[in-house]
Chain A
């Protein structure tokens, strides 16, 4: 670490601390689930477990996002797109949130309506975006949520829809500002949208960049997040 306090770059300090925090959290989550497995059945469920699961996942998502934002800021976010099987990608995203979905008793389903079973994108980056959006959707969903993937012209459209109250009207109106990172006080949801928009835009084909959109409605009537990948 840098000994010279005057030369201490605060964002680098945060980034390396976040890295350690992420490791710590991973160990904590792992230990928690092992401990849980040893508890008698009656003690395993309960609302506190749900809170812990949700906050573990939320914390992890925020740390990943924070590291991602730091790397975006210093132009060090690696982008390595490739072909991925869409069902595998979606299933993996849902599996990571499985405990949480169970505790909240939310039915998550997915639908793939694309011509090709493969999509072309950076799996890690798009994965971290979807994880955050899913985590958010689970928080607000009533009973169900739906992930769907379809073709939108030449682009791949990934939507996450829930049956909750939807995004506040103010957020919908000002989504362009979140996306551009203009509103610095918008809290974690706003930051999440900014991150998602940046990751989307890293995906570019023939001059067309990826983008995001939020709305209310969709099949389930609640919040609807759309990610377009060229």
Chain B
């Protein structure tokens, strides 16, 4: 029998009857330290103040509130609980909770209501035993050291090979964090061949997707969905792959399936909104974005892009028909939320104002639209942050429609300067302008950059650097070229680069500090930044 007198417990449930009943069961088990919370928000505040050894979390905490799964995600991602903490998800019906849960963060166990004291005691006792067995792994996870996780797993498997299957997930996550991709691929393939689980499929699909082996990734997800058609996370993965393959209609269908299974997912709704918008399905798009905005209120995945997307979908849906009163109210509400909650973000401030101006123009109020456009342009001039490609294209289109041709062209020019090495970007830009000054500006620099990459890969570093440098002189704000130059400099500089090289590297990175966090090169930028600036 476990001794719980020194352990701390937290019970989270919106029903006081349940809280008192669970509390008295725990008291009978000898627990002295029991706190309770009636909402996930309160539970998070309490966990920020105190480390709990055990959490009994009810799944359904009322509409419009965080559910148990969201609380668990917040606790893990904000590092408010240790991996050694025992987290029990209490549900009326666990199959529903499983569908709504995310594959990446699972509770230690589900406990189905009703349960009795003996049932609770049994679960707690067994979970403590398991956590004790896995302790070295859990401690390494708390320290954030994947290499130590692997070592601890190897140790456990050697000591008692019968429990090796309990380590599979920890080993896979650690290999992923260490970027040992080939090993991970072999490992996951073996797991799937022997005993397939949804998480193993998702991990393999994601690995192939990241490696750009899209057809293989698609195959893995399709195989996974045959075995586990009720796991929404697998649909998300397949949709992501289909988007990359350019099959956005099919991707939308797949996401709609996932939303039917599990509608409470901010990121999924947002992705669906975006896809449907690009497929010109404005009904689906506005519905999905609306869900994303509403659910975002209680979620860590709240994102102003959903608000902007919702407005865009509503405007497109009513194109040519003005905007009715109800739609105008909705647009005002979601846009003022963006402006209020992102005071420091210049880009979002500009975009929210332009979006508002565009909607006013559609509603027939050209005068206010013009005033707002001017305001937005004044802010635009002072802005030193880069727009993402998508944002830049929307802003340029809106400026053109609002009669600001020149400003629109200059946004496109900026976009080409920053992202012009990507042919897809150039195609999109070409749809909005014929201006040779915009379209022709990058050809030479892009060519040089490509040659540089080839030289770099062939190990001819000084030749690569020369090519990157020339490209960068032509296009100093191009993210790829700047990052390539910085990387070549650091490679040539070796362990302790001379000051001249460090200065040049810092200058390269300095010219692209406006890189948006959403850019998929942002991680690479951060890593180079840390090496060049030490932080």
Contacts and interface: CB of A to CB of B under 8 A. Distances in A.
Interface size class of B (residues with CB under 8 A): 35 or more
Interface stretch (A3-11, A113-121, A208-216, A217-225): A113-121
B123 A76 contact: no
Interface stretch (A95-103, A164-172, A183-191): A95-103
Given A22-B93, A78-B231, A79-B228, A85 B126 contact: yes
B265 to A, nearest CB: 15
A83 B93 contact: no
B56 to A, nearest CB: 13
Given A23-B92, A30-B21, A31-B17, A116 B130 contact: no
A182 interface: no
A29 to B, nearest CB: 4
A19 B92 contact: yes
A185 B17 CA distance: 40
Residues of A contacting B: mostly: helix
A29 B21 CA distance: 11
A25 B114 contact: yes
Interface in B125-182: 126, 130, 162-163, 165-166, 168
Given A98-B118, A118-B162, A77 B113 contact: no
Given A22-B93, A124-B94, A96 B116 contact: yes
A206 to B, nearest CB: 10
Interface string A57-95: 000100010011001000111111111010010011001
Contact of B116 (A23, A33, A85, A125): A33
A43 interface: no
Contacts of B326: none
Residues of B contacting A: mostly: helix
Nearest to A32: B114
B195 interface: yes
A27 interface: yes
A26 B22 CA distance: 13
B99 A78 contact: yes
Contacts of A31: 17, 21
B24 A124 contact: no
Nearest to B115: A96
A29 B229 contact: no
Contacts of B123: 92, 95
28 contacts: A22-B93, A23-B113, A26-B113, A27-B114, A30-B17, A33-B116, A34-B21, A71-B95, A77-B95, A77-B230, A78-B228, A78-B230, A79-B227, A79-B230, A82-B197, A83-B168, A88-B130, A92-B119, A92-B122, A95-B122, A95-B123, A96-B115, A99-B118, A117-B163, A118-B162, A118-B163, A118-B165, A120-B165
Interface of B: 15, 17-18, 20-21, 24, 92-95, 98-99, 110, 112-119, 121-123, 126, 130, 162-163, 165-166, 168, 195, 197-198, 227-231, 261
Interface of A: 19, 22-23, 25-27, 29-31, 33-34, 37, 56, 60, 64, 67-68, 71, 75-83, 85, 88, 91-92, 95-96, 98-99, 116-118, 120, 123-125, 205
